[in-house]
Amino acid sequence: MTYTSEKFRQCSEQIISAGRELHANGWTPATSSNFSMRLDADHCAITVSGKHKGKLTESDIMVVDMAGRALDQRKPSAETLLHTQLYNGNNRIEAVLHTHSPGATVLSMQTTASVLQFQGYELLKAFSGISSHEQSVSIPIFENTQDIPALARKVEQWLDANPDCPAYLIKGHGAYTWGESMHVCERHLEALEFLVQCELQVLALNKNNENKAGTYE
C-alpha cells in the first residue's frame, strides 16, 4: 500500500529537509537516526530503516500506524515504538527527531547523572513553555537496550511524571526530541545540543581543576 496524501508529501519534504540540515551539523552520521511526523490520529510518516539521512528522498519515507505496524513491505526503524509512543501520549506532538550526535553520545557515557538539570541558561527559552532562564529543564538519560518495548515503558513512566520534558538521551546512543511542528522540534534539538556542549565543557573544566588541585598536594 502506498500512502499518497498531500499531507504525506508535505511531511516527507520536511523530514528530508531536516535530514540534510542535521547531517550537515554532524548529528546524523552514516545511516543512523530516524525522523517522523504525525499524519493523522492513526498514522505517522517515518524514515525507512538503513537510509542515509542526509540523502533522503520521498521513497525513503514510509507510513506506520500508531502501533508501529508498517502499511507496506518496507522496514521502519527498530525504534519506531519510541516515536509512536510520543504521538500516542501527547496529541500536540507533530514531529519527532532521533539523532546520534557525538556530543549527546559522549555526554551520556561520561556523566554519572541519570537526569541532567539545566538552569540559568538563557537558551532554555528555546524550549516550549519556558519563559525565563530561572526555570529549569530536566533531561533524563536511559540505559541503552535492544528491548525497545521495555525502553518505551521506562520513557512512558518518566513522561507521565514529567509531562513538560522536551527530550531525553539514551546512554551511548543519542537523543530524542519532539515538538508541535518540525520547526519547533528542530529548535528543541538545537537548544539541546547547545546545552550538551556546555555540559561537556563544564565536565572538562571540573576535571582540569581537579588535576590542577592535585599538583599542589
pLDDT average, residue stretch 179-207: 93
Q: Is residue 217 one of the residues assigned to a domain?
A: no
Q: DSSP characters for 51-107?
A: --TTS--GGGEEEEETTS-BSSSS-B-TTHHHHHHHHHH-TT--EEEEE--HHHHHH
Q: Is the pLDDT reported for residue 66 higher than 60?
A: yes
Give this prediction's pTM.
Answer: 0.91
Q: Is residue 1 one of the residues assigned to a domain?
A: no
Q: Is residue 72 one of the residues assigned to a domain?
A: yes
C-alpha span between 48 and 207 (Å, rounded): 41
Q: Is residue 215 one of the residues assigned to a domain?
A: no
210 or 138, greater pLDDT: 138
- CATH code, 97: 3.40.225.10
User: What integer pLDDT is reported at residue 77 of this predicted model?
Assistant: 84
The pLDDT tens digits of the residues spanning 150-182 come to 999 999 999 999 999 999 999 999 999 999 999
The pLDDT tens digits of the residues spanning 198-214 come to 999 988 887 776 665 55
Domain count, the chain: 1
Q: Is residue 124 one of the residues assigned to a domain?
A: yes
- DSSP designation for 144: P
- DSSP designation for 44: E
User: What integer pLDDT is reported at residue 210 of this predicted model?
Assistant: 64
Question: How many percent of the chain have pLDDT more than 90?
Answer: 80
120-124, 142-146, 192-196, 209-213: segment of lowest average pLDDT: 209-213
Q: Is residue 112 one of the residues assigned to a domain?
A: yes
Domain that holds residue 44: 6-209
User: What integer pLDDT is reported at residue 3 of this predicted model?
Assistant: 59
User: What integer pLDDT is reported at residue 41 of this predicted model?
Assistant: 93
b/e sequence 146-155, b meaning 16+ C-beta within 10 Å? eebeebbeeb
Q: Is residue 216 one of the residues assigned to a domain?
A: no
Cell (9 digits) for 186: 528542530
Q: Look over the chain and give the mean of its residue pLDDT values, rounded to a whole number.
A: 91
Q: Is the pLDDT reported for residue 40 higher than 90?
A: yes
Q: Is residue 82 one of the residues assigned to a domain?
A: yes
pLDDT average, residue stretch 122-147: 92
User: What integer pLDDT is reported at residue 211 of this predicted model?
Assistant: 60
pLDDT average, residue stretch 126-141: 91
The pLDDT tens digits of the residues spanning 21-30 come to 999 999 999 8
The pLDDT tens digits of the residues spanning 7-21 come to 999 999 999 999 999
